[in-house]
Amino acid sequence: MRKLKESRRPEIIDAALAVAADRGLDALSMRAVAQRVGVTPMALYGYFRTKDELLEAVVGRLLEEIPPAPPGLGWREMLQHLAYGLRSVAGRYPAVLPVLLTRPAVSPGAIRVVDVVYRALLDAGVPHGQVARLERMFSTLAIGHILSEMSGRFGAGTLDPPARRAQLSPESLPGHHTLGAHLDQPVDWDDEFTANLRDMCDLAAALAAADTNPQATH
Amino acid sequence: MRKLKESRRPEIIDAALAVAADRGLDALSMRAVAQRVGVTPMALYGYFRTKDELLEAVVGRLLEEIPPAPPGLGWREMLQHLAYGLRSVAGRYPAVLPVLLTRPAVSPGAIRVVDVVYRALLDAGVPHGQVARLERMFSTLAIGHILSEMSGRFGAGTLDPPARRAQLSPESLPGHHTLGAHLDQPVDWDDEFTANLRDMCDLAAALAAADTNPQATH
DNA sequence: ACCTGAACACCGTTCAAGT
DNA sequence: ACCTGAACACCGTTCAAGT
């Protein structure tokens, strides 16, 4: 439980982002970061207790790179601005995405982002007791979508969809069969991200409406 | 591009699940799986070209462990059954979760699960052109929630929330300040998972309603 | 047809020592 | 106060060889 040094922390975090940006997730090692800083791997352990702790700090810095929202935006625009900002920052450092979805928001930068979402949902009129849940839902969906998209879960598989489906008997996949040609069209992930955001905002609005007018729930 | 052997694939996949189940993600190595099978690490490469390919097969098998839905369920119950099933299977093999969110659904088991969701959304009356997007949204949220919860993103951080927030000036976090005590209450992740599912189903119902009655969108 | 052994180029982290 | 060097116990994967 030694006390950690502070002086060169920002320099090390920058080096980690640089490694992630131009050599990917698998290359983001303590050894690579150390080399970029110009120091022995063991020197990093004076600043971060473990690699996990370094990654946590990296996520915080990444979130701080999201441009601040211009003043006077409505709550939907605030959430959109944040989500698009996250998406473009993540595009620059895709290696850090899995960390975003598995580590808690403990750094100041991360907490500030959470606060922006809280404010937007409060503005939308979401009941106080549901704001935290909706923030988690919103962030899970946003990060999960970006991660799925960038890691190839959503497409660009090794087999094209029609050939892949042909491996299974058509009657065992009635859903795929009914949708047919709809499944073979290429998808614009930008549009899909936007549509998902719109749906999440509609959901927040519906929860707000159900609160002021309980009969409206059904 | 050698041809792969088939004979012992199931045995190897089982061994991988067993390692994941009782020694966790970090221990899920080719060497550990090989040892469990009783074979040299290099023998595995006769059955899977890379570790990634093995993990893909493991995910397929994991999805096949979700119990099939009893007949006669409504579409909401089908989606709930599937989501709860995924959650409990994932609880048995938490090591495999990150793979679920980053690899495409290419195995027969994975495609069958997607088909169940397609069928449910079609039953709900979601327009054909939106079914695939909603399936991706649903799976992203479900897997993302389970992963966030099990990896500790949602809580159990190193600092308790009030102490953590105290590190920042209260006026820089107006959202947290407004929510106050709401943020200090413990959360039941089971309830939250259920609430998120309900919201997703409501969303599907709303999209279905907007389709049959366009004026109802606003 | 199936498997092994040795090797290559890596990991995160501990510990004791150096300036 | 800050950093280094050597070591430990691991990785995924290639290649040539063995039965």
Averaged pLDDT in 10-residue chunks for chain B of 218 residues = 85 96 90 97 97 93 93 96 96 88 87 95 97 97 96 68 65 90 90 98 95 59
Q: Which residue among B106, B119, B156 sits closest to A174, beta carbon to beta carbon?
A: B119
Q: Out of A102, A108, A114, whose CB is closest to B147?
A: A102
Question: Are B145 and B104 in the same domain?
Answer: yes
Indicate whether B166 belongs to any domain: no
Instruction: Looking at the structure, tell me whether residues A125 and A80 fall in a common domain.
Output: yes
pTM score? 0.91
Q: In A, which residues are within 8 Å of B174 by CB distance?
A: 115, 119
Nearest to B165 by CA among A118, A148, A157: A118
* Region A32-49 average pLDDT: 97
In the block, tokens 């999805």 appear at B63
**Domain assignment present for B176:** no
Asked if residue B159 belongs to a domain, the reply is no
CB B57 within 8 A of CB B48: yes
Per-residue pLDDT, A158: 45
Please state, in angstroms and rounded to a whole number, the distance separating the CA atoms of residues B121 and B78.
Answer: 10
Determine the Cα–Cα distance for residues A21 and A45; give it in Å rounded to an integer: 22
Mean pLDDT of A47-70: 94
> In whole angstroms, what is the distance from residue A138 CA to residue A83 CA?
9
Identify the residue with better confidence: A12 or A171.
A12
Lowest mean pLDDT across A49-58, A150-159, A181-190: A150-159
CB burial of B102-121 (b: ≥16 within 10 Å; e: otherwise) equals bbbbbbbbbbbbbbbbbbbb
Full residue range of the structural domain in which residue B205 is found? 70-154+187-217
Nearest protein residue by Cα to C1' of nucleotide C5? B40
Q: Is residue B162 part of a domain?
A: no
Least confident window among A38-42, A147-151, A211-215, B97-101: A211-215
Residues A93 and A130 in one domain: yes
| Residue B171 domain flag | no
Angle at the Cα of B147 (from A29 to A56), degrees rounded to 5? 35
> Same domain for A124 and A26?
no
| Interface check A169 vs B, CB under 8 A | no
pLDDT of residue A167 exceeding 90, the answer is no
Asked if B151 has any chain A CB less than 8 Å from its own CB, the reply is yes
B44 plus B82 within the same structural domain: no
Dig out the tokens for B30 from the structure: 């080719």
What is the pLDDT at residue B163?
Answer: 63
Tokens of B67: 């119990």
List chain B residues with CB under 8 Å of A76.
Answer: none
Question: pLDDT tens, A60-91?
Answer: 999 999 999 998 999 999 999 999 999 999 98
What is the overall mean pLDDT for chain A? 90
B54: left (phi over 0), alpha (psi -120 to 50) or beta: alpha
Question: Measured between CA atoms, how close is B155 to chain A, in angstroms?
Answer: 7
Residues A104 and A148 in one domain: yes
Overall size of chain B counted in residues: 218
Contact map slice: A 61-120 vs B, CB within 8 A: 98, 101-106, 108, 111-112, 114-119
Q: Identify which of A149, A157, A137 has the alpha carbon closest to the alpha carbon of residue B144.
A: A137
Name the residue among A56, A144, A111, A110 with its Cα closest to residue B183: A111
Q: Residue B88 falls within a domain, yes or no?
A: yes
- Name the domain count of chain B: 2
Same domain, A20 and A109: no
- For residues A124 and A199, membership in a common domain is answered with yes
pLDDT of residue A160: 54
Q: Identify whether residues B30 and B74 lie together within a single domain.
A: no
Q: Is residue B173 part of a domain?
A: no
Residues A36 and A120 in one domain: no
Interhelix angle B51-64/B75-92, rounded to 10 degrees, is 130
How many Å apart are CA A196 and CA B208, to the nearest integer? Answer: 15
Task: Find the Å distance, CA of residue B42 to C1' of nucleotide C7.
Answer: 13
Q: Are B53 and B102 in contact (CB under 8 A)?
A: no
Cα gap B105→B59, rounded to integer Å: 9
The 3-class SS string of B62-129 reads HHHCCCCCCCCCCHHHHHHHHHHHHHHHHHHCHHHHHHHHHCCCCCHHHHHHHHHHHHHHHHHCCCHH
Same domain membership, residue B132 and residue B213: yes
Distance in angstroms (rounded) separating the CA atoms of residues B89 and B106: 19
Query: B30-37 and B51-64 helices cross at what angle (nearest 10)?
Result: 60
Min Cα separation B132/chain A (Å): 7
Distance, in Å, from the CA atom of B14 to the CA atom of B36, rounded to the nearest integer, reads 10
User: What residues of B are in contact with residue A129 (Cβ under 8 Å)?
Assistant: 182
Q: Which residue is nearest to nucleotide D6 (CA to C1')?
A: A42
Helices (H), ranges, chain A: 9-23, 30-37, 51-64, 75-92, 97-102, 108-124, 128-151, 161-165, 174-179, 189-212
Q: A36: domain CATH number?
A: 1.10.10.60
Give the CATH number for residue B142: 1.10.357.10
Residue B65 belongs to a domain:
no
Question: With a 7 Å cutoff on the CB, does A32 touch strand C?
Answer: yes
Residues B119 and B78 in one domain: yes
